[in-house]
Structure 1
Amino acid sequence: MNKTLIASLLVTATSLCSFSSIAALTPFQKDVLKVMKMEHRNAADKERDDNRVPYQALAFFGLEKDMKVIEFAPGNGWYSKILAPLLKDDGELHLAYKKEWLEGMNDTLAIDVMSKAKKLPIELDWNPEARSYKLGTIDFGMADADMMLSIREYHNFNLEDKTKLNKATFDALKPGGTYVIVDHSRRHMMPETDEMRRREDPIDVILEVQAAGFVLEKSSKMFYRPDDELRYEVGRKSVTGNTDRFTLVFKKPK
C-alpha cells in the first residue's frame, strides 16, 4: 500500500474514530475504510458515514470477504456500494428486492467495483395505504448463504410478513449462518401508533426471530443515541439521522 493511500485512510479513520483506536483497526476494517473512499460513493453516501460507521458495524456483524451474503431490500444501495467491492473477489452479494426496483440500480451495478453483485428478484410491493411493504411468496433460492442483512427494513412489515421473511431467511442460510437486523428503536411495550410505525421494539424482534428457529448471538449499543427520546417518527427533522438503533445478530443452529 503506498504512502498516499495510507495517509488518506488515516485521515478518514480519524474523522470516524478516536486516535487511540486507529492502531487497533483490523485488516478487514482497513479494507472497509478503503472502499469508503472509492469514487463510486457520492457525497451524499459519505455524509452518512459518521452516523453509520460501516467499518465498525460490518466487523461487528461478522462479515468476511469470502462470504455469500444476501442484502434484503437494499434501497438506493448505500450498503451495497460498500458490500459489493468487499465481496467482489472472493465472496458473493445477492440483492433481494422487487425486480422493477432492482432495475433502478442498473447504473450503479454497471460500475466495475459493483459489477459482481447479483440481482435476486423477490415478490415485494409497497402498500401506500398501510405505508408498509407487502411480501408475496418468498424464496431466496439458496440454502447455503453465510449472512442475511436486514438494515432498517424490518419495521416495514406486519407480523405475518415478518414471520414469512424470518422463515425464508432461516431456509436460505446454511447451518451456522448469520442473520443481522438493525432498526430504529421503540421503547419496550410502547403501543403501535402512526408516530411509531418506523420503530421496532427490540424485545418483540428477538422473540419473532427466535420463533423461526434462530438463536440470538449478540447485540450492540454502537447506535445508541441518548438524545433520541423514542417518541417521534424517524422522519421528523428533529431526529432524522440521529435515531437510536438496535443491532441484533442471530445464528442458525448447526
Structure 2
Amino acid sequence: MKNKKILIGLASLGLFSSFASLANLTPLQEKVWAAMKMEHRTEVDTARDRNRQPIQALEFIGLKDDMKVIEFAPGNGWYTKILAPVLKDNGELHLAYSEKWLADFDDLLKVDEISKAKKLPIELSWNRTESRYQLGDLSFGISDADMVLNIREYHNFNQEDKAKLNKATFDSLKPGGTYVIIDHSRRHMAPETHELRRREDAVKVILEVQAAGFILEKSSDMFYRPDDELGYEVGRKSVTGNTDRFTLVFKKPINIES
C-alpha cells in the first residue's frame, strides 16, 4: 500500500514519465520522495519539484543515504530540506556557507528531520561590483567526504575562485569521491556578458574541473529544455523556472600519483 501511494503521487506530479520507471522506484528514491512530502517544505519549495526533479537527479548522481555530503552554498536550503532527512540516520550533511548566511538556517536546523545537518563556515562574501561570490582562503576542513554538491552556484565565481573551489573540493573528497555540478547552460563559446553571467559553458566547466585532477564520470540531459534559447538571463520571465541545465558528475581518482 505504501509503494502504491508513492507511485500515484509521483505520477500525479509528473515526476516520472513511464510505467517502467514507476515500477522500479529505488530505496533512495523512496527516501527522497518521503522527504519531499515533509511539513518543513513550503508551497514555494514544492512548486519547484517538477522542474528540479530531485527524485531522478539525486538517484542519477549516485547519492546514498550513508554518505558524508558537503552541500556548497546551499542558498535558501531548497536541497537541504531534502538531503538532511535522507542522510539523517546513516550519513552526514555539511552546509558550506558564509557564517553570516548560515545563521539564516538556525530555525530550519531546529526541525527534527533537519537537526543533524552541520554548519561548515567558510570565507565567502558577495562582491556587489561584479555580482559574484568572492572566496577567501578556502578549506572545508574535511578530507573524507563522499560527495560535494555544487548546484547552480558554479557560475557565481571568477576564474581564480573557480580554481580555488575545485582544488578545495578535490582535497575534501576521499579517493573515489564524487563532485557534482549542476548549472544553467550557456551556448558553447558564447562570450561573457552581463546577460549570460549566470550561465556556464559545460565544455569549459569540464576542462576546469579536470584541470583540478578530477575525472568526468557521466553527464545527464534530464534538464534539457529545448525552448530555452540559451541567450537570456536566467531570471527573465521567458526562461525563469525553465532553464536548460547541465548535470556533470566527476570522480576523484582512486589511485592518485604522488
Tell whether the structures are fold-level matches, with TM greater than 0.5: yes
Q: In the alignment, which residue of structure 1 is the partner of 2:215?
A: 215
Q: In the alignment, which residue of structure 2 is the partner of 1:100?
A: 100
Q: In the alignment, which residue of structure 2 is the partner of 1:12?
A: 9
Q: Distance in 1 between matches of 2:29 and 2:4?
A: 15
Residue 19 of structure 1 deviates from its aligned partner by 4.7
Q: Distance in 1 between matches of 2:84 and 2:58?
A: 13
SS for the counterpart of 1:44 is helix
Q: In the alignment, which residue of structure 1 is the partner of 2:28?
A: 28
1:9 aligned partner, one-letter code? I
Alpha-carbon displacement from aligned partner over 1:124-159 (angstroms, at most 9, x marks no partner): 000111000000000000100000000000000000
SS for the counterpart of 1:84 is helix
SS for the counterpart of 2:180 is strand
Contact 1:184 1:245 in 2 (8 A): yes
TM-score (norm 1): 0.97
Q: How does 1:50-65 map to 2 (within 5 A)?
A: 50-65=50-65
SS for the counterpart of 1:22 is helix
Alpha-carbon displacement from aligned partner over 1:13-47 (angstroms, at most 9, x marks no partner): 10211350210211211111111111111111000
Q: Distance in 2 between matches of 1:153 and 1:131?
A: 12
SS for the counterpart of 2:120 is strand
Q: Please say if 1:143 is aligned against 2:143.
A: yes
Contact 1:12 1:33 in 2 (8 A): no
Q: Please say if 1:82 is aligned against 2:82.
A: yes
> Does 149-158 or 8-17 show the bigger shift?
8-17
Residue 220 of structure 1 deviates from its aligned partner by 0.2
Alpha-carbon displacement from aligned partner over 1:169-193 (angstroms, at most 9, x marks no partner): 0000000000000000000000000
Q: Distance in 1 between matches of 2:193 and 2:18?
A: 42
Q: Distance in 1 between matches of 2:4 and 2:38?
A: 15
1:139 aligned partner, one-letter code? S
Moved over 3 A (4+): 5-8
SS for the counterpart of 1:112 is coil
2:28 aligned partner, one-letter code? F
Alpha-carbon displacement from aligned partner over 1:28-79 (angstroms, at most 9, x marks no partner): 1111111111111111100000001101000011000000000000000000
2:6 aligned partner, one-letter code? L
SS for the counterpart of 1:101 is helix
Q: How does 1:125-204 map to 2 (within 5 A)?
A: 125-204=125-204
Residue 222 of structure 1 deviates from its aligned partner by 0.2
2:112 aligned partner, one-letter code? D
1:43 aligned partner, one-letter code? E
Q: In the alignment, which residue of structure 1 is the partner of 2:69?
A: 69
Percent identity reads 69
Q: In the alignment, which residue of structure 1 is the partner of 2:248?
A: 248
Q: Distance in 2 between matches of 1:17 and 1:106?
A: 34
2:16 aligned partner, one-letter code? C
SS for the counterpart of 2:198 is coil
Alpha-carbon displacement from aligned partner over 1:209-242 (angstroms, at most 9, x marks no partner): 0000000000000000000000000010110000
SS for the counterpart of 1:104 is helix
SS for the counterpart of 1:100 is helix
Residue 8 of structure 1 deviates from its aligned partner by 3.7
SS for the counterpart of 1:69 is strand
Residue 87 of structure 1 deviates from its aligned partner by 0.4
> Does 202-211 or 22-31 show the bigger shift?
22-31
Contact 1:108 1:114 in 2 (8 A): yes
1:10 aligned partner, one-letter code? L
Q: Distance in 1 between matches of 2:89 and 2:27?
A: 16
